[in-house]
Amino acid sequence: MTRQFKFISGFLALCCVLFLSGCSTMRVLESQVQTSTQWPTGSAAPKQALFRWERLPADVNSVQAGWAEVELEAVLTPLGWTRNDVDAQYSVWVGVRTAEFITDTWGRPVRGPWVNHLHIGIGSGYRPRGMSTNIGWSVGGPVYPGIRPGFPPAVAYAQEVSIIIRDLKTSQVVYQTKASHDGPWADHPTILSAIMGAALQGFPQPSVMNRRVDTTLPR
């Protein structure tokens, strides 16, 4: 009986270790997705199509825009959409942005990440809340409700992807989707790539327009 009890106890301990090990190497990324479709009446959304990239004037020579297009093309290809600049039926625009913002004791934004935010470039890694950042902070600065005492204040990060698809025959927008995520993770390329996939979840006809999409990623 003792040997059996020891065996069961050891087995359960091993399971706990394996479970905790798995949890420590993975993370669940929550994306808030908002989608709007306006395919012409009587015209089914194509599951296969040819497209070309569309850029705003400010993005013509943008390295960030080029990176976003490469990442999005990798998402669109398995969905049956192929880039063809000559015979394109649709144009696709993609925009990405990131921001660092202040949080209160419970990790909630003190103010929206896109209001008076500090734009940050593509980075990597995890920065625990409360560690030093490159945000300037001085004695006598504004005090926000809920902020825990001490310097520097707690911070978190916001990432957002917007995608617009336009019918080149009519110049009308036929599909628009946006995915956003905020949390303690600063490895922006990994997160932006993941929420691109979340933004196109269910494409071209998602069953729910406003939804949460979870993606599992390694830490």
Of the ranges 81-90, 105-114, 204-213, which one carries the lowest mean pLDDT score? 105-114
Task: Give residue 62's identity as a one-letter amino acid code.
Answer: S
Q: What is the mean pLDDT of residues 77-105?
A: 91
Q: Residue 33 corresponds to which amino acid?
A: V
**N-to-C CA span, the chain:** 42
The β-bridge relationship of strands 210-218 and 26-37 is antiparallel
Angle formed by the axes of helices 188-199 and 63-76, nearest 10°? 50
Sign for the CA dihedral angle at 202, 205, 206, 209 comes to positive
Measured CA to CA, the distance from residue 60 to residue 63 in angstroms comes to 9
Q: What is the mean pLDDT of residues 173-185?
A: 93
- Give me the pLDDT at residue 153, please: 58
Interatomic CA distance for residues 212 and 55, integer angstroms: 28
What are the tens digits of pLDDT across the range 36-54? 998 876 667 788 999 999 9
pLDDT at 135: 30
**Highest-pLDDT range among 15-19, 64-68, 135-139:** 64-68
Q: Is 140 left (phi over 0), alpha (psi -120 to 50) or beta?
A: left
Q: Which tokens in the block code for residue 145?
A: 């409700």
Give the distance between the most distant pair of CA atoms in the chain: 78
pLDDT for the residue 2 = 59
Is 163 a residue whose pLDDT tops 90? yes
Q: What is the per-residue DSSP string for 30-89?
A: EEEEEEEE-PPTT-PPPSSEEEEE---GGGTT-HHHHHHHHHHHHHHGGGTEEE-TTT-S
pLDDT at 106: 64
Q: Residues near 169 by Cβ (< 8 Å), separated by ≥ 6?
A: 89
pTM over 0.75? The answer is no
